Amino acid sequence: MKIIRQFFNIVKESFSGIWRNRTMSFTSIISIAAMLTLFGVVMLMILNLNGMVYQTGEKLDKVVFFLKDDASPIDVNAFIDELHNNKKVKKVSYVSREEALKEFKEDFGEKSKILENIPGGNPLPASITVEMKELSYGKEVEDKYKSLPIVEDCNYYYDFVTQMMKVQNGVKYVGAGIVLILVLVSVLIIHNTIRIAISNRRKEISIMKYLGATNTYIRGPFLINGIIFGIMGALIAGFITLKLYEILFDRLNPQICDIINVDMISALSIRVDLYIIFVCIGVGIGFFGSLFSTKKFLDV
């Protein structure tokens, strides 16, 4: 019963301390919320870029060789056989001129009628699509076969994927740097908040020590203050981050899907995980910021 009573006294004193120093407490909460919001934005950007790079890589890990109209069936079959024997090739697909025209009409519907006005009939070439076992093999396969006499042109999007990966890494490093700075700022603000609270209660703490209060009992309210700062900051950040993300998702996802046929991560699928991550980080920052302050300024 004594332990329970002491615990409730610590919690009560903690909330009283927050109210007495409400300006600095509010500043601490807002600083944690700002840091976590930016962290959430960076994290969601990285998650979406990871998904886009992965999904796009799966779709673009193919080299398309467009064949000349006068390519003989013997040469085409020999080329296909050679590709089948290449250990870096996973799959080879041949599309004739007639099949290419049919696919074009299915994809573009009414717009496909523009081909009817082109002299000479079907302008689409036959093609061979080569799917690699790994994305990195594409450039080698392209360079090896693009100069063949029967190849008119080739199409490969490896550069596009690698550029996306560079953007992804840039966001990761810049975001990590900004978040680290904000973490330090949050810890500093909490540090000052606890220091002011300790200064305001200096006489009271001296009396408690004289009466035999333990170190844990004296430090308890300040540590709980930090935890409360972290939880409240995390909840605020989670709400703001998800609302901003829902707005961006509604505006950007249809356009991204139309351009590269890849969907963004839905807000609903990450909501619980986001709050758990935010609360864990917020509590950690609040607790250790308070612990550092009490060790430095509280002589117990």
CATH of the domain at 94: 3.30.70.3040
Same domain? For 42 and 99 the reply is: no
Cβ atoms of 67 and 126 closer than 8 Å: yes
Separation in Å, CA 214 to CA 207, 209, 218, 300 = 12, 7, 6, 8
Cα angle 168-174-179, degrees, rounded to a multiple of 5: 120
Same domain? For 190 and 295 the reply is: yes
Question: CA torsion 124→125→131→134, rounded to 10°?
Answer: -90
Cβ atoms of 227 and 291 closer than 8 Å: no
Same domain? For 73 and 40 the reply is: no
Buried b (16+ CB within 10 A) or exposed e, 75-91: ebeebeeebeebeebee
Kindly give the pairing relationship between strand 127-132 and strand 62-67.
antiparallel
Same domain? For 179 and 36 the reply is: yes
Element (H, E) at 274: helix 267-297
What three-state secondary structure class fits 78?
helix
In which residue are the tokens 């909840």 written? 235
User: Any bridge partners for residue 128, and if so which?
Assistant: 65, 94
Same domain? For 51 and 88 the reply is: no
Same domain? For 181 and 92 the reply is: no
Same domain? For 230 and 108 the reply is: no
CA distance 140 to 127: 19
Same domain? For 25 and 48 the reply is: yes
Q: What is the pLDDT of residue 239?
A: 93
Which residue range is the domain that position 268 belongs to? Answer: 1-57+162-299
Q: How many domains does the chain have?
A: 2
Same domain? For 41 and 141 the reply is: no
pLDDT tens sequence for the chain (300 residues): 555 555 545 555 555 656 666 777 787 788 888 888 888 888 888 778 777 766 666 666 678 898 888 888 888 899 999 998 988 888 888 988 888 777 777 766 555 555 555 555 667 788 888 888 777 787 888 888 888 889 888 877 766 667 766 776 777 787 777 777 877 777 777 777 767 666 666 666 666 666 566 666 667 777 787 788 888 889 999 999 999 988 888 888 887 777 666 778 887 888 888 899 889 888 888 887 777 766 665 654
Q: What is the pLDDT of residue 90?
A: 87
Tokens of 157: 């999007």
Rounded to the nearest 5 percent, the helix, strand and coil shares of the chain are 75, 10, 15
CA distance 283 to 233: 9
Same domain? For 71 and 36 the reply is: no
Last residue of a domain, one of 129, 156, 183: 156
